[in-house]
Structure 1
Amino acid sequence: MISKKKTLLAGGLAAAISCTTAIAQEATSPFTWGGDVRLRQIFVDNVGLDADSKTADRTFERLRTRLWGNYAFDQNVSVKARLLWEGRHYQSPNRSDYPPLENWYSGGIFFDLLHVDAKNIAGLPLSVRIGRQEIMLGNGWLVFEGTPIDGSRTFSFDAARATYSAEDIGTTFDLIYIDENPDTGRFPQALNGEVEDQTEQHETGVVLYANNKTLLDGDLDGYFIYKHDDPNNTPGNIRVNNGYPFASPGNAGDIYALGGRADTNLTENWALRAEAVYQWGTRNDRDLSAFGLNSRLNYNFNDALKNQLHASYEYLSGDDPNSDEDEGFDPLWGRWPQWSELMVYQWPLDGRVAGASNLHRLNLGWTAQVHPTTWVLLDYHALWAAEQYPSYPSQVSLISGDDSFRGHLFTGWIRTKLNKNVSGHLVAEYLMPGDYYAENRRNDSFFVRAELIYTW
């Protein structure tokens, strides 16, 4: 009987060891993979702030699916690829009212990530990433979005990035080279042959970025950015499913930017974030001299609901029509909905798609974790133009020219993460336009989006 128990015990122990070994082997497999599916329902009212326009109201669904894989040759060298597809269906506007629009749209099937990583090069704390990759510097104010025309479908850059970590001074140094094609026709092209615009011009640039974590209780950053814009003279294919109300002009020129950023805890409750940048160079055959400031003060209650209040001020210089220089702030690679989804659709009235510029923004907001799975965020923004003049002369008729107030903007989010696989959000925004816009472009506008994501 004892011998039988010993045999069972030995067998169980052997099975457990075998199972543990199998799990360990699986966990250390050089190949990992995953994916996600994102479903969005979107309602936008009065795009272009003109209720009489046939394209003013948008109701549509977006379905995006991605599949990724990563192979590690060893602990220092790996390669990653992610394959993506997004399709859309529009209920409004109807194609009979706006023939260029496609009610059903199937976009390209392509790799939005395809890069090689190398770490500990020559035994140094140096890493390199080469290929199509995502890059976010700081809060993404100036460097985050390489493909603004396709919305949130992709955020990638064709780039090479080297990062050196100087641990003895608590600082990392990044050197980044960017070469962004205006459309998706460059390798790796779409597998189904679709070629779509992703930005208005061919963009190349260099970024030098330093991040220190020891001088402050947080981050202290300094950077230099160079960006060259070369107009896309090839006839464009701006995705008709986006239905932009106005053209998004291309730029030509060379822009230089020098800036700094601090993100620090002042006390147990107070925190401050501030970033400032000066830009110079040339844009569209004019000398450029522009300035931007982005700041935010947070008060954390440190309570059970993680209540937080915040106040923000952002300034982006505008072009003075009485000056020979161009003073209009250039968002560089920061064209994404940093504080408003709705304004992405309204910026083309006096700028470019998602291209915030010529702005004074005052913001008050509150956030709280109302449930272990759920956050609520509420914000109010008061918006002014820094100059009573648009970014491009062709847009003069779209603004009044005799007032600076852009309007009152109210935004609200409910974000939830039910478990490691399922997350989602509901966002609603409402804009009450001011007299900065032309008289026929002052209709109230709203944006509503529901999102559900399944990740594995």
Structure 2
Amino acid sequence: MISSFLSGRGRRVRQVLAGSVFLLSFGYGKTVCAQNTSEGASQFQVSGDIQLKLVTLDELPVDGGFKLPETTYSDVVSALRVSWQPTPDVIFRSWLKTEFRNYVKNRSANRYRFLDEIVFHELSVEFTDLMSDRLDLKIGRFPMHYGRGLQILESSPLDAERSYGFNGIRGRFKFAHYKLDLIGIYSPEEDEYLINNKHKKIGFLESDERGVVAYLTSNDKSATAGLPSDIYYMFKHERPRFGQSDVYLHTLGFIWPLQWTEQFSSYWELARQGGHRRGGGDVRAWLSDFSMNYQWPDKAWQPEVFFANYYLSGDDPTTSTEENWHGLWARWPQYSYFLVWQFIPRIGDWTNINWSRLGLRLRPGDRTRFEMSIGPVYAPEKGLGGGDHRGNLLIAILNHRFTSRFSVMARAEFFESGDFHPEQD
């Protein structure tokens, strides 16, 4: 049924491929009030979670002109979070994670063993309400998430979800209707804080990375209605990787959500990327993430329909300019666990994509969410197959939360390869 629907234009079906993710999540948390003082309570918090994932990838074509082997594995990810707040204005945080896998197929790919590597997602101290409650200051390693995470979220691209922590310093200036984050980032290729990294033998990053971010966010939706909620500038310096020289990137963008009526809303993120490569040409690239949503909140299951388009420019090989989008710190699955692998050897380095889809969201209960979308995936620049049609992608996602500490997510993606990829048996 799926393959016949996806091939409705009448051409011969080249490949119908499938991928799935099944996720169980268990969480635990406890707060201990250690001491009462005249300034408030000194709090010590401990929490953690365990995620059990079953992942299957079946013959996924990649931009390099080949297909990944069929792969099935279970993945166990456990995390421990500890925070201590000795005073109301100071808080220390630590977040550790370890991961191991069991491969059913393609076992040679397994470089994850029990307690083989412990990663710090966070190891930081934050000082709040400085300068008469005008400034919060955070120092160390800590995660960051802005907008939908298309510019900055994932700090290590070699493995999806390997680490969300950035080494840096962040000053948050607080105003009446906005907050301004000024951030400095330095991430070395080899992470000096890895614990027991003796078997994995892969770098934390492909190269050293440095950057500066200025991010302005609205914190009063009513006062800034009709205006962009986020405006940002990001500078990033990447050391040589994939045989290329240093690249210096400047990215300027905004996020503009609009609530047209109680039922109809839209979202648009637009970014322009410029820069240059040492000893080479210029960089000029674009990102656009646009969506429209219409919902019926009073109807049964609260149905919602949406249209979305995700555009990332690709490189024109006939020019000396790099027109392909560079992924900054957002080399994670984003909207598709399937497409993220297509950019090998640059895993997660989203670029050269023009993906439109129609979708439906349902809420059968307070704890259950279902989403399905389908649409064609094109590329601004042609691939090794001679065409610009990457393929057609159908995604189905089911989320259910049994309790506050136990949830499950099932995700399936079906992809019919197009003429962007070379035809293979």
> Please, what TM-score do these two structures have when normalized by structure 1?
0.78
1:182 counterpart residue number = 189
- Equivalent of 1:231, from 216, 222, 240? 240
1:19 counterpart residue number = none
- Given the alignment of the two structures, is residue 302 of structure 1 paired with residue 297 of structure 2, yes or no? yes
- Given the alignment of the two structures, is residue 328 of structure 1 paired with residue 335 of structure 2, yes or no? no
- Given the alignment of the two structures, is residue 430 of structure 1 paired with residue 424 of structure 2, yes or no? no
Give the whole-Å Cα distance in 2 for the aligned partners of 1:34 and 1:43. 30
- Given the alignment of the two structures, is residue 355 of structure 1 paired with residue 368 of structure 2, yes or no? no
Report 1:41-56 matches (<5 A): 41-48=54-61, 56=69
Give the whole-Å Cα distance in 2 for the aligned partners of 1:329 and 1:145. 16
C-alpha offsets along residues 369-399 of structure 1, whole Å, 9 cap, x if unaligned?
112211001011311110115xxxxxxxxx2
Give the whole-Å Cα distance in 2 for the aligned partners of 1:344 and 1:325. 24
2:378 counterpart residue number = 384
Shift of 1:329: 1.1
Shift of 1:132: 1.0
Higher strand proportion: 2
Give the whole-Å Cα distance in 2 for the aligned partners of 1:251 and 1:425. 41
Report 1:210-359 matches (<5 A): 210-212=216-218, 213=221, 214-216=223-225, 220-231=229-240, 252-283=246-277, 285-303=280-298, 304-348=300-344, 352-359=346-353
| Contact kept? 1:225, 1:258, Cα under 8 Å | yes
| Contact kept? 2:96, 2:121, Cα under 8 Å | yes
Give the whole-Å Cα distance in 2 for the aligned partners of 1:377 and 1:180. 36
Change (3 A) 1:155 1:23: closer
Shift of 1:92: 0.7
Report 1:104-183 matches (<5 A): 107-167=116-176, 170-183=177-190
SS of the residue corresponding to residue 346 of structure 1 reads helix
| Contact kept? 1:182, 1:201, Cα under 8 Å | yes
Q: Give the % identical residues.
A: 25
Shift of 1:110: 3.2
Give the whole-Å Cα distance in 2 for the aligned partners of 1:250 and 1:338. 26
In structure 1, the gaps of 5 or more residues are 1-21, 233-247, 390-398, 444-456
Query: Quick check: 332-341 or 403-412, which moved more?
Result: 332-341
Q: Alpha carbon RMSD of aligned pairs, Å?
A: 2.6
| Contact kept? 2:115, 2:196, Cα under 8 Å | no
Change (3 A) 1:200 1:24: closer
Shift of 1:112: 1.9
| Contact kept? 1:200, 1:251, Cα under 8 Å | no
C-alpha offsets along residues 66-97 of structure 1, whole Å, 9 cap, x if unaligned?
111101120010100122211111111144xx
C-alpha offsets along residues 92-112 of structure 1, whole Å, 9 cap, x if unaligned?
1144xxxx6558565312322
SS of the residue corresponding to residue 61 of structure 2 reads helix
2:20 counterpart residue number = none
Give the whole-Å Cα distance in 1 for the aligned partners of 2:408 and 2:183. 33
- Given the alignment of the two structures, is residue 439 of structure 1 paired with residue 412 of structure 2, yes or no? no
SS of the residue corresponding to residue 345 of structure 1 reads helix
Shift of 1:54: 9.4
Give the whole-Å Cα distance in 2 for the aligned partners of 1:114 and 1:132. 5
- Equivalent of 1:38, from 51, 62, 65? 51
Change (3 A) 1:54 1:166: closer
Shift of 1:321: 1.5
SS of the residue corresponding to residue 62 of structure 1 reads strand
- Given the alignment of the two structures, is residue 86 of structure 1 paired with residue 92 of structure 2, yes or no? no
Change (3 A) 1:130 1:154: same
| Contact kept? 1:60, 1:92, Cα under 8 Å | yes
Read off the aligned partner of 2:209 and give its amino acid letter: E
C-alpha offsets along residues 49-79 of structure 1, whole Å, 9 cap, x if unaligned?
69xx895111111111111110112001010
| Contact kept? 1:64, 1:153, Cα under 8 Å | no
C-alpha offsets along residues 285-307 of structure 1, whole Å, 9 cap, x if unaligned?
32111111111111111124221
Query: Quick check: 281-290 or 410-419, which moved more?
Result: 281-290
In structure 2, the gaps of 5 or more residues are 1-31
Change (3 A) 1:47 1:356: same
Shift of 1:219: 5.5
| Contact kept? 1:54, 1:93, Cα under 8 Å | no
Change (3 A) 1:164 1:421: same
2:10 counterpart residue number = none
Read off the aligned partner of 2:363 and give its amino acid letter: Q
- Given the alignment of the two structures, is residue 406 of structure 1 paired with residue 390 of structure 2, yes or no? yes
